Amino acid sequence: MTLSGCGTALVTPFRGDGSLDEETLSELVEWQIASGIHFLVACGTTAETPTLNHQEWLRVIGIVTETAGGRVPVLAGCTHNATHEAVARAGEAASVPGVSGLLTANPFYNKPGQEGQYRHFRAIAEAVPCPVILYNIPSRTGVNLEPATILRLAEDVPNIQGVKESSGNLQQIAELIHLLPQSFTVLAGDDVMALPVIALGGAGLVSVASNEIPSEMARLVAAALDGDWATARALNRRYFRLMTANFWESSPGPVKCMMAMMGRLQENYRLPMVPVTAATREKLAIVAEELGLKGTALRPSITNTIKAALAAEGMVQSE
């Protein structure tokens, strides 16, 4: 599996009664692919995966792969802090037709050291035939996966082929890219880190903002990978506030709020996630208005709205 470009860490839409909104999820996948996104992540952190039961977790992965129909790669998230359970889930996820690879994060709460993480990830990868992408996110799991450990895993387990790096530590990411062979995929795990990680040699981004603006984030990443830094910087400048706004409260609260304003889904969560505060909602509404996003899913003229916004930034010619 060759993985590069911009991938979306998909949200999971719910109905008002708390059940999975399967139709909306399928619609989101179609919209993402039509917008030019390069790959998709089902059941990552942004998907509120810890609140899904086992059957729902498999169902979400199935809906995403079925809808994608092989048009873009699909990574299935399978993280657990008990290694035996993570191994079992990895086997199930890998067996879902259309899954291109697995994304698995550090064991959370246990706080294992480097040797514990090495054995954990090795056990998962050795149990499946598909590519495995590691996910280093210390802010959520309480532990950091160090570059030397990732190198050891890459050398010892051939199907460990990449890492989504969400440490926010640019020096660590630079060391990682320096240590690992160019064939090893390093993806930025934070929207605001996409440009520096790609500049260092990273292969792309797993994005939250692309839930709201898939076309623009795909274009931003593609431009950076092509060395068109003027376009990449202009897009980053225009959408930087949205990238940060998505984390004004715990994710995916703000992004789901924004997508509801856009008309893309019903704003429903599962505890312990709750709607954003009134103050945050008010600020998000301002961002939505500034970027022309409010109600865009309900407006057939959205393409012209986006083109006009890009023309104002000097990134496309106005018609």
Just list the catalytic residues. Answer: 135, 164
The residue type at 156 = D
**Nearest-5° Cα angle at 18, 15 to 24:** 30
DSSP state of 152: H
Q: Answer yes or no: are the C-beta atoms of 131 and 166 closer than 8 Å.
A: no
Backbone angles phi, psi at 258, to 5 degrees: -65, -40
d(CA 284, CA 254): 8
What tokens were used for 227? 């060395």
d(CA 269, CA 256): 9
Partners of 163 in the β-ladder: 134, 186
The residue type at 59 = R
